[in-house]
Amino acid sequence: MIGKLVLQKRQEKGLTQEELAQNCQLDTWTIQRIEKGEVKPYFSTLKILSQELNCNLISEINAKPWQFSQEDADRYRNEFKKRKAIRMGIFIFALSLLLAVATLFPSFRLFGMPKLKWAPYFYLSMFGLIIGIGLVWRCPACKASLGNPFNTRFCPNCGFKFNK
């Protein structure tokens, strides 16, 4: 979406990708990747592009909500429900295992090592798994990071509602 808008504004102004990149002090490859939709530009890059293209890309992007066909919307919702169930299952399993090891097995030895030696690594890996669940929580429609693993209402990036 951002890429299409940058491409449209660049063509309206009659600039090539090389000229736009040079005027914005960016790499031509960066402009190409933005226009193809391979990357989402940083806010600072959007500001630079907006100044060069004499428009406000940020407000134009936010003013045009994403349109989804009913078939796509249903597919995204089903994908979101499936991923949510998997993530919540992993979260509950990791938390249960963490609590069980921390409380139920005070003298458990792993490969002959006392719990005092192996437990910190176990705890760190479980906390890493739990944090990782939140970091990879993405919108199925726009692939933007949702950040909050418990966000189940809508995507703050594209506005897609996960429930009807």
Residues 58, 60, 61, 66, Cα dihedral to 10°:
160
149-159 residue pLDDT tens: 666 677 776 77
Spans of all domains in the chain: 2-63, 69-164
CATH class of 2-63: mainly alpha
Q: Is the distance from CB of 40 to CB of 144 less than 8 angstroms?
A: yes
3-state secondary structure (DSSP) of residue 137: coil
Amino acid at 70: Q
| pLDDT value of position 14 | 92
Q: Which residue has the tokens 């970091």?
A: 135
110 pLDDT band, cuts 50/70/90, is: confident
For the segment 12-31, what is each residue's pLDDT rounded down to a tens digit? 989 999 999 999 999 999 99
Least Cα distance to 82 among 74, 92, 93, 70 occurs for: 74
Which two structure tokens, joined as six digits, stand for 138?
């993405």
